[in-house]
Amino acid sequence: MVEELLTAVIAAGAGVAVYVGFAARVVKQYERGLVFRFGRLREEIRGPGFTTVVPGVDRLRKVNMQIVTLPVPAQEGITRDNVTVRVDAVVYFKVVDPASAVVAVEDYRFAVSQMAQTSLRSIIGKSDLDDLLSNREMLNQGLELMIDSPAVGWGVQIDRVEIKDVSLPETMKRSMARQAEADRERRARVINADAELQASHKLAEAAEVMSEQPAALQLRLLQTVVAVAAEKNSTLVLPFPVELLRFLERAAPPPATVHGHGAAASSAVTGPGPEAASPETASLQEPAPAGPATEGPGPAAVESAPGEAPPAALDRPAGDGLYLDAPPADPDRPRG
């Protein structure tokens, strides 16, 4: 009798252990459990921990509640300004309603992936190339709204959408590089022109100050020479400024004056010629007859007889000024 009782207890315990083994389930912390009894969803959602189901009657479906990182394959499209680009993105989402994620949609991951690809192509067609390259924050927000609108009925919440990379054709890359280079060159020229304008104003002020003190220009020249001479591998060409000549000219003593009658005496010493004749001599000159016999010392020469003083000397008192002896007269030349 006792042996039969022990056998019955052992059999019952083994049956309970087998039942518990088939009925026991463990739900992890980041999961939620949905129980389907004869294919009908039970309203109770099993939380994390140990739980049991009826073997052969219930079926437990676990749903991951973590944030899922879903890469969106690169989509090729044409922007609004007719540029062909390839854009890829990444979507971050999580399940907020396990029942809707399992019942409302067949595969919520695949559904979110397809919706992300469609929305990304739509964003490419509505945007310009500059927006894709520089204004990605606004495009990310628009893409998030486009994906999140249908995903709400699937029990899925879109946490974040990011555009990762924008691939451009090689010709477009070269064109953009040339555009950037031209823009930088333009800005460099504007900066150089502005610098030249400011330098011209400063040079004008410096020239005005140096014009008041000519010695300042000489000091500036010497400073330039010192700066150039510091380099041993250069040839120094030193210009001789005109201001230095003017300075030396002002520093030179005045020339000595000639004693005597001044211009009259110097003209008498110079000799015959158009400039050598004084006003008194010019009044006594006579035109010489044409011909070979009229050749003389010059057109302004005054004729005089042999042994006679020049007309200029006749009008002057003796001992006053300088006198020149008249050249001997030609005996064949007629006297005037």
Amino acid at 65: M
Reference 91, options 152, 148, 153; nearest CA is 148
- pLDDT, tens digit, 9 for 90 and up, residues 222-272: 887 777 777 776 676 666 666 667 766 777 666 655 444 444 434 433 444
Q: Is the pLDDT of residue 48 over 80?
A: yes
Q: What is the overall mean pLDDT for the chain?
A: 76
Q: Is the pLDDT of residue 90 over 70?
A: yes
Question: Could you tell me if 276 and 265 are in contact, meaning their C-beta atoms sit under 8 angstroms apart?
Answer: no
Average pLDDT over residues 67-77: 91
Average pLDDT over residues 89-110: 91
Residue-level pLDDT at 280: 42
pLDDT band at 315 (very low <50, low <70, confident <90, very high): very low
For the chain, percent of residues with pLDDT exceeding 90: 23
Average pLDDT over residues 80-86: 89
Assigned token pair, 62: 């676990």
Query: Which is more confident, 334 or 208?
Result: 208
SS3 of 174-202: the string is HHHHHHHHHHHHHHHHHHHHHHHHHHHHH
- pLDDT, tens digit, 9 for 90 and up, residues 192-221: 999 999 999 998 988 888 888 777 877 887
Q: Is the pLDDT of residue 325 over 90?
A: no
Residue-level pLDDT at 238: 66
Residue-level pLDDT at 335: 52
Euclidean distance between CA atoms 321 and 327, whole angstroms = 19
Residue-level pLDDT at 63: 92
Query: Which is more confident, 209 or 100?
Result: 100
Question: Could you tell me if 247 and 214 are in contact, meaning their C-beta atoms sit under 8 angstroms apart?
Answer: yes
Out of 110-119, 162-171, 255-264, give the one with best mean pLDDT: 110-119
Residue-level pLDDT at 116: 92
pLDDT band at 277 (very low <50, low <70, confident <90, very high): very low
Residue-level pLDDT at 305: 45
SS3 of the chain: the string is CHHHHHHHHHHHHHHHHHHHHHHEEEECCCEEEEEEECCEEEEEEECCEEEECCCCCEEEEEEECCCEEEEEEEEEEECCCCCEEEEEEEEEEEECCHHHHHHCCCCHHHHHHHHHHHHHHHHHHHCCHHHHHHCHHHHHHHHHHHHHHHHHHHCEEEEEEEEEEEECCHHHHHHHHHHHHHHHHHHHHHHHHHHHHHHHHHHHHHHHHHHHCHHHHHHHHHHHHHHHHCCCCCCCCCCCCHHHHHHHHHHCCCCCCCCCCCHHHHHHHHCCCCCCCCHHHHHHCCCCCCCHHHCCCCCCCCCCCCCCCCHHHHHCCCCCCCCCCCCCCCCCCCCC
Residue-level pLDDT at 175: 87
Average pLDDT over residues 121-127: 90
Q: Is the pLDDT of residue 96 over 70?
A: yes
Q: Is the pLDDT of residue 89 over 90?
A: yes
Q: Is the pLDDT of residue 24 over 80?
A: yes
Residue-level pLDDT at 249: 76
Average pLDDT over residues 319-323: 43
